[in-house]
Amino acid sequence: AQSVTQLGSHVSVSEGALVLLRCNYSSSVPPYLFWYVQYPNQGLQLLLKYTSAATLVKGINGFEAEFKKSETSFHLTKPSAHMSDAAEYFCAVSEAGGADGLTFGKGTHLIIQP
Residues near another protein, by CB under 8 A: 4, 9, 32, 34, 36, 41-46, 49, 51, 90, 92, 94, 97-107
- Sequence-ordered list of residues with C-beta below 8 angstroms from that of 84, at least 6 positions apart, any chain: none
CB-nearer residue toward another protein: 3 or 14: 3
How many Å apart are CA 107 and CA 88, to the nearest integer?
6
CB-nearer residue toward another protein: 73 or 89: 89
How many Å apart are CA 74 and CA 2, to the nearest integer?
14
Hey, which residues does 112 pair with through a beta bridge?
13
CB-nearer residue toward another protein: 44 or 86: 44
Least distance CB 1 / another protein (angstroms): 11
Least distance CB 98 / another protein (angstroms): 2
CA distances from 55 to 14, 27, 44, 68, 73 (A): 28, 17, 23, 7, 11
CB-nearer residue toward another protein: 42 or 80: 42
Least distance CB 36 / another protein (angstroms): 8
